[in-house]
């Protein structure tokens, strides 16, 4: 009888626990699953209407995707894409996924010296077409 009473008391105590059960853990995305809001700083080495190539001082090239969400300049000094020609040092803000940055803001950046032994290649801007030579009169 004593054993039965102890068993009943043990079950009653176990059922009266005031500790809350631990919360169910939901799936946690891995850090690489969500692009980080990092961006890139470097020199514009190529441009098209929708993508730019920005090369860092260490020589790593990033593709910067431009879109309707991209703002140029700073809040106090707004700018346009045309104000950032090839060769300009920029600071690009936006989510980075590998070597691609989806630009949310592009602002002028401070030039950093290239790491020793590296160079930042610049793509020259297209040259203006040459004017035709004047015709020489027949003698």
Which tens digits make up the pLDDT trace of 73-121? 999 999 999 999 999 999 999 999 999 999 999 999 986 555 555 554 4
Confidence (pTM): 0.57
Residue 131 lies in a domain: no
Distances (CA, A) of 123 to 8, 53, 87, 129: 84, 10, 8, 18
Residue 47 lies in a domain: yes
Per-residue pLDDT at 110: 83
Residue 40 lies in a domain: yes
pLDDT tens digits, one per residue of 11-58? 444 455 455 555 555 444 444 445 556 899 999 999 999 999 999 999
Cβ contact 36:96 at 8 Å: yes
| Residue-number span of the structural domain to which 40 is assigned | 36-108
Count of the separate structural domains present in the chain = 1
Residue 71 lies in a domain: yes
Beta strands in 1-139 (DSSP E): 36-37, 40-47, 51-55, 61-65, 71-72, 89-93, 95-97, 100-102, 105-108
Residue 103 lies in a domain: yes
Residue 14 lies in a domain: no
Per-residue pLDDT at 79: 97
Return the CATH number at 43: 2.40.50
Residue 17 lies in a domain: no
Residue 64's pLDDT band (cuts 50, 70, 90): very high
Residue 18 lies in a domain: no
């Amino acid at each position: 009888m004593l054993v039965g009473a102890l068993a009943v008391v043990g079950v009653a105590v176990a059922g009266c626990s005031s500790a809350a059960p631990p919360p169910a853990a939901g799936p946690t995305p891995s850090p690489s699953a969500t692009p980080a809001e990092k961006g890139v700083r470097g020199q514009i080495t190529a441009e098209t209407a929708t993508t730019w190539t920005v090369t860092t001082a260490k020589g790593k090239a990033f593709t910067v995707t431009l879109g309707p969400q991209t703002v140029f300049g700073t809040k106090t000094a707004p700018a346009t894409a045309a104000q950032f020609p090839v060769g300009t040092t920029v600071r690009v803000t936006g989510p980075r996924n590998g070597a691609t940055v989806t630009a949310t803001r592009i602002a002028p950046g401070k030039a950093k010296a290239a790491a020793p032994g590296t160079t930042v290649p610049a793509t020259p801007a297209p040259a203006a077409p040459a004017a035709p030579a004047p015709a020489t009169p027949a003698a």
